[in-house]
Amino acid sequence: MNTQVLAIAKGVRMAPRKVSVVAALVRGRTVSDALTILSHTPRRSSTVVSKVIASARANAEHNFNLKPDTLKIAEITVTSGPRLKRFRPAAHGRALPFQLKSSHIRVIVTGEERKKKTDDRGAKTEETSVPSPKPEGLDLPTKGGA
């Protein structure tokens, strides 16, 4: 069963038109291929897109227990974020308006789940064991001083 994992970067201070060009390069590819392509892409927005894809990969591996080799970009969308309205000085004492655009980048990654480990008796166990908070045999002093 393929699980979908989401990662979002909001308010990225780049125009959506420029970010969506880079996102189109990696749409539908595997995560490792996408990160390789983005590392060789000479665009400013390639670093931000690669960080969102790396975040989606980390979410998939650590939170959803997916195999890192099977991860694939199912969906990558770029939408416009809030705009900052500013003014630029012009000739004859005028002020011309312009807008600083921002983007929201949304990446959905799919992949296969890791198999649960089984012990010798056939019972399913956790992949990682959680250490006990207090080591055994260590006697810590109490607050009362006794």
Q: What is the mean pLDDT of residues 53-65?
A: 95
Q: Provide the residue ranges of all domains of the chain, joining segments of one domain with +.
A: 2-112
CB contact at 8 A, 37 and 27: no
**CA 115, 117, 118, 124 torsion-angle sign:** negative
Alpha carbon distance 67, 110 (integer Å): 10
Decide: residue 19, CB within 10 A, 0-12 exposed, 13-18 middle, 19+ buried.
Answer: buried
- 58, HSE (Cβ side, Cα atoms, 13 Å): 8
- Cross-strand partners of 104: 79
Q: What is the pTM of this model?
A: 0.77
Per residue in 87-130, pLDDT (tens digit) is: 999 999 999 999 999 999 999 999 999 887 776 666 665 555 55
pLDDT at residue 140 in the model: 56
Is 52's pLDDT higher than 60?
A: yes
With tokens 């980048």, the residue in question is 105
pLDDT at residue 127 in the model: 56
Give the chain's end-to-end CA distance (angstroms, integer): 57
Please state, rounded to an integer, the average pLDDT across all residues of the chain: 88
Per residue in 31-50, pLDDT (tens digit) is: 999 999 999 999 999 999 99
Nearest residue to 41 (alpha-carbon basis) of 25, 20, 57, 18: 25
What's the CATH number for 2-112? Answer: 3.90.470.10
**CA 32, 34, 38, 44 torsion-angle sign:** negative
